[in-house]
Structure 1
Amino acid sequence: MKKTHFLALIGLIVAAAVLFCGCTGTTDDQTTTPTPTATVAEDVQVKVFHAGSLTGPFEKVKAAFEAEHPGVTVLLEPAGSVDCIKKVTENGKPADVLASADYALIPEMMLPDHADWYLTFAKNRMVLTYTNESKYADEITAENWYEILDRDGVRWGFSDPNSDPCGYRTPMVLQLAETYYKNDRIFETLVSEHSNITVTEENGTYTIHAADPEPDNVTLTIRPKADELVKMVKSGDLDYAWEYRSVAVQNDLSFLELPEEIDLSAVAFADNYATVRTEAKKGDGTTLYAGSPIVYGVTVPKIAEHPDLGVAFVEMLINATGQEILTADGQPPIVPAGGYGSVPDALQSLVEMQE
Structure 2
Amino acid sequence: MMRKLLLSGIVSAGLLFAGGACADESTVNVLYAGSLVNLMERSVGPAFEKATGLHFSGYAAGSNKIANEIKGKLRRGDVFISASPKVNAGLMGPANGDHVGWYVNFAESPLMIGYHPQSRFAADFKSKRWDQVLQEPGIRIGRTDPKLDPKGAFTVDMMTKAAQLYHQPDLVEKTLGDPENPAQVLPEETLVGRLQSGQLDAGFFYSTETSDLKIPALRPARELQAKASYTLTILNDAPNQTGAARFVDFLLSDTGRALLKQHGVEVIKPTVTGNVQAVPPSVQAVTDAAP
The interval holding the TM-score normalised by the smaller chain is 0.7 to 0.9
SS of 1:109's equivalent in the other structure is coil
How much does 1:346 deviate?
1.2
Pairing 1:16-165 to 2, within 5 Å after superposition: 44-59=26-41, 60-70=43-53, 72-91=54-73, 93-111=75-93, 113-141=98-126, 144-165=129-150
Pairing 1:299-310 to 2, within 5 Å after superposition: 299-310=233-244
Q: 1:43 to 1:351 in 2, by over 3 A?
A: closer
Decide whether the 8 Å contact of 2:25 with 2:243 is kept in 1.
no
Q: Distance in 2 between matches of 1:94 and 1:140?
A: 42
Which structure: greater helix fraction? 2
Between structure 1 and structure 2, the one with the greater Rg is 1
SS of 1:124's equivalent in the other structure is strand
How many pairs are equivalent?
A: 259
User: Is 1:178 paired with 2:163?
Assistant: yes
Which of 253, 261, 268 is matched with 2:223 structurally?
261
SS of 2:214's equivalent in the other structure is coil
SS of 1:121's equivalent in the other structure is strand
> Could you list the runs of 5+ residues in structure 1 that have no partner in the other structure?
1-41, 198-212, 266-293
Q: Which protein, 1 or 2, shows the higher relative CO under an 8 Å CA cutoff with sep ≥ 6? A: 2
Q: Distance in 2 between matches of 1:116 and 1:44?
A: 24
> Could you list the runs of 5+ residues in structure 2 that have no partner in the other structure?
1-23
> Aligned residue for 1:238?
200
TM-score by length of 2: 0.83
Q: Distance in 1 between matches of 2:138 and 2:236?
A: 49
Note the alpha carbon deviations across 1:204-230, whole angstroms, 9 max, x for none.
Answer: xxxxxxxxx243x2xxx111x223222
Aligned-residue sequence identity (percent) comes to: 26
How large is the Cα RMSD of the aligned pairs? 2.0
How much does 1:101 deviate?
0.9
Pairing 1:289-304 to 2, within 5 Å after superposition: 294-304=228-238
> Aligned residue for 1:338?
271
Decide which moves more: 88-97 or 158-167: 88-97
Decide whether the 8 Å contact of 1:142 with 1:258 is kept in 2.
no
Which structure: greater strand fraction? 1
Q: 1:142 to 1:228 in 2, by over 3 A?
A: farther
Q: Distance in 1 between matches of 2:211 and 2:93?
A: 33
How much does 1:100 deviate?
0.4
Q: Distance in 1 between matches of 2:121 and 2:101?
A: 49
TM-score by length of 1: 0.68
Pairing 1:10-21 to 2, within 5 Å after superposition: none
Pairing 1:186-335 to 2, within 5 Å after superposition: 186-192=171-177, 195=178, 197=179, 213-215=180-182, 217=183, 221-223=184-186, 225-265=187-227, 294-335=228-269
